[in-house]
Amino acid sequence: MLYRLGITYIKRKTWDDARVVFSKLIKENFGFAWRYLGLAYTRLEQYEFAEEALNEANLLDIENHEVWRYLTLYSLLTDRKPQALECLCEVNKVKYEEIPILIEIASLFSKPYSKFLN
């Protein structure tokens, strides 16, 4: 029940509500919730927590393309393009058809490194 509620929050992009739900699921030992918690933290720009959650999700299921997709997004938002490229290679190993996030990833890749703008 909580899982479906959390997914609804993600679809509605109510990230703080999603964060609360998936945090509860993790406390109840539902390991799959780490990836969604990482996404929520990424969207809330709480990158330290996002990195921890996404790394935990990756440790639990290294072949999960959804985790790699979220890691790609996280890496781009934190100016880690080389790491994002590595993550994107893992995403590309499976057929993936969720176009909106791929468009967002492409858009972020086209932005210059912020550290080179100074």
Q: What are the tens digits of pLDDT across the range 5-25? A: 999 999 999 999 999 999 999
pLDDT classification of 53: cutoffs 50, 70, 90:
very high
Domain that holds residue 98: 2-111
Q: At what angle do helices 99-109 and 65-77 cross, to 10 degrees?
A: 30
What confidence score (pLDDT) does residue 103 get?
Answer: 82
In a domain, 117, yes or no: no
In a domain, 116, yes or no: no
| Beta-carbon-side half-sphere exposure of residue 88 (alpha carbons within 13 Å) | 18
The tens digit of pLDDT for each residue in 71-80 reads 999 999 999 9
pLDDT classification of 106: cutoffs 50, 70, 90:
confident
In a domain, 118, yes or no: no
Q: What share of the chain is helix, strand, coil (3-state, %, to 5)?
A: 75, 0, 25
Total domains in the chain come to 1
Which pTM value belongs to this model?
0.83
What CATH number does the domain containing 94 carry?
Answer: 1.25.40.10
In a domain, 49, yes or no: yes
